[in-house]
Amino acid sequence: MSQEHLTCGVVKRRTQLADGRELIYYDDPDTTLPPERAADARSMPPRPATAEMRQDVLTGDWISVAAARQNRAFLPPAHLDPLAPTTPENPSEIPDQYDVAVFENRSPSFGPELDDADAAVRLADLRDVGYERRRPAVGRTEVVCFSPEHEGSFGTQTETRARTVIEAWADRTAELSRLPGIQQVFPFENRGQAIGVTLHHPHGQIYAYPYVTPRTERLLASLDRLGPDLFASILERERAGERVVLQGEHWTAFVPFAARWPIEVHMLPHRHAADFAETSPAERDELARLYLQLLRGVDAIYPTPTPYIAAWHQAPVHTHRDSARLMLQLTSPRRAEDRLKFLAGSEAAMGAWIADIPPENAAELIRKGIERA
Can you tell me the distance from the alpha carbon of 255 to that of 267, in angstroms, rounded to the nearest whole number? 9
pLDDT of residue 88: 93
Average pLDDT, the chain: 95
Tens of pLDDT, residues 6-55 = 999 999 999 999 999 999 999 999 999 999 999 999 999 999 999 999 99
pLDDT of residue 72: 66
pLDDT of residue 67: 83
Can you tell me the distance from the alpha carbon of 43 to that of 143, in angstroms, rounded to the nearest whole number? 21
C-beta of residue 57 within 8 angstroms of C-beta of residue 70: no
Q: What mean pLDDT is predicted for residues 193-219?
A: 94
Q: 118: Cβ–Cβ under 8 A, 6 or more apart, which residues?
A: none
**pLDDT-based confidence at residue 73 (cuts at 50, 70, 90):** low
Q: Where in the chain is the domain with CATH 3.30.428.10?
A: 2-211, 216-372
pLDDT of residue 61: 97
Can you tell me the distance from the alpha carbon of 49 to that of 343, in angstroms, rounded to the nearest whole number? 33
Closest CA to 366 of 281, 274, 294, 312: 294
Tens of pLDDT, residues 215-227 = 999 999 999 999 9
Query: Catalytic positions, please?
Result: 203
* Positive/negative CA dihedral, 126, 132, 135, 140: positive
The yes-or-no verdict on residue 119 having pLDDT over 90 is no
Tens of pLDDT, residues 285-294 = 999 999 999 9
Percent of the chain with pLDDT over 70: 98
Tens of pLDDT, residues 305-356 = 999 999 999 999 999 999 999 999 999 999 999 999 988 899 999 999 999 9
What is the topology classification, in CATH, of domain 216-372?
Answer: HIT family, subunit A (3.30.428)
Strand partners, 330: 265, 310
Tens of pLDDT, residues 247-264 = 999 999 999 999 999 999
At position 353, the amino acid (one-letter code) is W
SS3 content of the chain, % helix, strand, coil (to 5): 30, 25, 45
- For domain 2-211, the question of CATH label 3.30.428.10 is answered with yes
pLDDT of residue 268: 98
